[in-house]
Structure 1
Amino acid sequence: MIVRDAKPCYYAYRLQMGEHTQTGLITVASVADYDSNRIRKHEFTRPDKEDDRVRQIEALNAQTGPVLLAHPDNDDAEQLIAAAVTGDPVADVTADDGIRHSVWLIDDESAIERIGAVFSALPNLYIADGHHRSAAASRVAAARRGTGSQGRPDSAEYFLAVIFPARQMRIMDYNRVVTDLNGQSVDDFLRAVGVRFTVTPSTAPVKPEHTGVFGMYVDRRWYHLTIRPDLVPTLDPVRRLDVSVLSDQLLGPILGITDLRRDTRIDFVGGIRGLGELERRVDQCGIDDNKAIAFSMHPTPMADLMSVADAGEVMPPKSTWFEPKLADGLVSHVLD
C-alpha cells in the first residue's frame, strides 16, 4: 500500500550491512543543480538506458528509485540527521540479502527548516550511483517545462535522492577477469608484467590494502603486484586511479585490452562476491595454454571519485561498487 504524505517532509534513512552503517537524508534534489553541475557526475551515460528511465518515469508519473548522492564532510548535516533517528522508525525491514533498511519521518517544521538550510548551503553534491536516473529526470523536466499539463509546474524539476555523508559511504573493490593471456605463456606474461610492476608470489589470496597494489591470480597461483611509482601520473585525477593504472600499464600494453566497454575478453566482478569467485572463474575458464587471469583491486577511495567529478572528468568503466544498495519503492516522488 502506498500512502501519500499530507505535507512536504523529509525522511532519514539508515542502511546496515554487517558492521557497516550509514545514515542519510531522503529528499528531492534540484534538476537545475544537476544541469549546472552543482550536483557533480563522474560517469558517462548510455542513451538507451536513459530512454528506459524516461519511459518509466513517464509511465508512472513518479520516480520510485532514488539517486545515491554524497555530500562532503559537514558536521552540522550529520548531526541533524543523527538527531532524527532517535525515535521509532516508520519502516524497518531486513531484505533477503541481509541488509537492514530503516526509515524515520521528519515532519517537524523547525527540523525541516534547519535541514533545508544546512543542506542547501552545501557547495556540491556528488552522484555515487544513479547517473542514468538523474539524466532521465533532467530530460523529463526539460520536456515538461512550460507545458503546465502535468499538475504542479515545478514537480518534475526535482528528482528523488538519498544524500549520505561521503565519509560514511562504502565503496568495495571492483575486480577484473580476463579470459586469456593474449597468446603468451605464463612465464612470458610474468616477465612482461615485471617490467612495470614488482611481482611477488603469495601463498594466500591477495586483497590489496592500499592504492598502487593489485592482486593477480593466474595458473592457480596468487601474486602481489606493486606498480612502479614513476609510472603513476599523480597530478591527473583519472589516470592516477588504480583502475586506470591497471588498464594503462597492463591490460592494454600486455593483454591487448584497450576498450573496457566492448572487449568481450574482460569481465568485472563486484567485491561483494569475494576473491573465491575470481578463483572459480579463472579455474573454469583457463584451459591448457589459454590461461585466464584475474586481478583484485583496492577500492577506489571516495575522495578520488570526488576529485574526478570536481575536475569535470569521468572515471573508467566499472570503477566503483557501492554497498549496501538503496531499496527502490520505500519512498516515491510523484510528479503531480
Structure 2
Amino acid sequence: MESSERTGLMLRPFHGVRFAIDDLAAVTSPPYDLVSPDELRDLLGRHANNVARLILPGVSHYADARELLVRWLGSGVLTVDSPPGLYVYEQSGAGFLQRGLIGAVGVGTASILPHEDVMPGPVADRLALMRATEANLEPIFLLYEGGGTASRLVDDVATQGFPLLDIRTSDGVRHRLWAVTDPVEIAAVGEDLRDRRALIADGHHRYATYEALRRDHPGPGPWDYGLAFLVDSLAYPPDLKAIHRVIPGLSLEEAAARAKGAWQVHEFSVLEDALAGLATATGPAFVLAGDGPAHLLTDPDPLQVGRAMPAGRSARWRSLDTSILTAFLLPRVWGIEDSEQAVLVVHHDPLAAVRLARQHGGTAVLLNPLLTEDVLAVAAEGERVPRKSTSFGPKPRTGLVMRTFASD
C-alpha cells in the first residue's frame, strides 16, 4: 500500500518486549539523544543489562546491539508479552502527571504531523540500528487533541487496574505501566482515533527512520508500524522547553560586536539578569553568554530580518525565534550555516550550554521556548520549524516496553 493511500491515525496492539529482572529502574534510560557521555558511562555501570547498551552501541557497532538483543531474548532477560495489547503508561513527579497509550502507530499516513526538520546523520544512525536489530527500541512521542474513548480508557485503566510495573527512576519520576488486551476496548480506541491527527512531539529522526525502513520493504509487514507513545494534549498539556545553541570557536566578544549592526544589545554582568530579561521579552530575543559578560539581544532590524527570511514561509513561521536564529542571526550576522558540526545543542539547561561554550572557546545562544500553539499552527499548515526548535516533555522512559519485528 502506498503512503498516499494510508489515511487516519492507527494505533494497533503489539507483543511488548519487556525486561524480566528485579531492578527495572536500573535498566532504563532517557531517550538516546538526551544521554550525555558522562550519563552513558553511569548507565552502563548501573546495570549489565541497561537498555543503553542497545540504543547507543556506538557507530559501526550496530551488529553488536543485534547480538545482545538476541542473547537477552534467548536467556530470559527480555520476555515477550502475550497476547498482544496496547499499554497505558503513566509518568508522575513533583507537580506533573502524564498518561497515554503505547502502541504500534501506522507509518506513512497524513495523520502524523512532523513539525521539525531532521538531519541526515541521526536518521542514518537510527536506521542502521533499526535495520540491524529489526526492532523499535524506544517509542516516539505523539500528541493529539482527544477527549474521547481512548482518553477515558487511559484514565480508567490507570485509576482502577493493577500495573505490570511500578518503579521510580533516579530522577525521582514514578513510572507505571498497564496492558490493555481486551479486543473490544482496543477496537474502541481504534474507532476513536481514526479521524484524528497527531503531532510528533519528540522523535522526528526516529519517525523518519520508520518511513525509510518501510520504503525498504515493498510488501506489508511489521515495518508498516512504529512504536509510539500517544498523549491527549487536552487532558495532559505538555511541557515545552527550549533547546539552546553553542557556537564553537565564535568568541563571545566577537558575537556581541557583530550583532550590534542588527540588534539592540544589552550587556549584563550577571547571567541571571540577562536571562530574566530574556524571559520577559515580547519579541525575538536571545542571550549570548560564555567567557565574559552576558548580552541580551532584542529588537532586531525588521528590514534585515525580512530580507533574510526564505520566500514562501508563513507569517507564523517567520516570527519564530528559532526561524530568526537559523535564517538571520546565524548566517547573516555571523556567517554560520546551521549544521550539527557548526552548531551544537544543549537541551533545557542554560548553565550547561554556557559551560560547553567555555570549553569550546565559543558562544552560547540561549533561547526562550516556543509556544505550543505556534508549533501546532505551523505543523497544521504543513510547515516545519528549524531543527531542534522544541523539547516537549515529559518524554517517555526508554526500556519499559519495546517492540521487535519477529514478535509482532
Query: Shorter chain as normaliser: what TM range?
Result: 0.7 to 0.9
State the 1:38 CA deviation.
1.9
Please give the alpha-carbon distance, in whole angstroms, between the structure 2 residues aligned to 1:221 and 1:118. 54
Answer yes or no: is the 8 Å Cα contact 1:182–1:255 preserved in 2.
no
**2:116 partner amino acid:** E
1:245 aligns with 2:245: no
Shift of 1:309: 2.3
- Structure 2: distance between partners of 1:108 and 1:100: 26
Partner residue of 1:158? 225
CA distance in 1, matches of 2:249, 2:104: 46
Counterparts of 2:285 and 2:147 in 1: how far apart (Å)?
Answer: 31
Q: Give identity over the alignment, percent.
A: 27
Unaligned runs of 5+ in 2: 1-19, 21-77, 307-312
1:27-68: CA deviation from partner (whole Å, max 9, x where unpaired): 1111242xxx22122334455544444443444343222121
2:193 to 100, 109, 119: 119
Normalised by the length of structure 1, the TM-score is 0.78
* Aligned pair partner of 1:27 in 99, 103, 107: 103
RMSD between superposed Cα atoms in Å: 3.2
Give me the TM-score of the superposition, normalised by structure 2.
0.66
Q: Which amino acid aligns with 2:190?
A: G
Residue 100 of structure 1 corresponds to: 174
Gaps of 5+ in 1: 147-152, 287-291
* 1:198–1:228 Cα contact (<8 Å) kept: no
2:79 is the alignment partner of 1:10:
no
Separation in structure 2 between the aligned mates of residue 201 and residue 134 of structure 1, nearest angstrom? 41
Aligned to 2:288: 216
Runs of 4+ in structure 1 off by over 6 angstroms are 231-234
Q: Is the 8 A contact 2:265 2:295 kept in 1?
A: no
Q: What CA distance in whole angstroms lies between the structure 2 residues aligned with 1:319 and 1:246? A: 10
Structure 2 distance, partners of 1:306, 1:65, is 24
Query: In structure 2, do the counterparts of structure 1 residues 177 and 63 end up closer, same or farther at CA, with 3 Å as the change threshold?
Result: closer
Q: CA deviation at 1:321?
A: 2.5
Contact kept? 1:172, 1:299, Cα under 8 Å? yes
Structure 2 matches for 1:1-336, cutoff 5 A?
Answer: 1=20, 2-33=78-109, 37-47=110-120, 49-72=122-145, 74=147, 77-86=150-159, 87-122=161-196, 124-146=197-219, 153-166=220-233, 168-179=237-248, 188-189=257-258, 191-192=260-261, 195-197=262-264, 199=266, 201=268, 203-205=270-272, 206=275, 208-209=278-279, 212-217=284-289, 220-228=292-300, 230=302, 235-257=314-336, 259-261=337-339, 264=342, 266-271=343-348, 274-286=349-361, 292-336=362-406
Structure 1 position 185, deviation (Å): 5.3
| Alpha-carbon distance in structure 1 between the residues aligned to 2:240 and 2:315 | 21
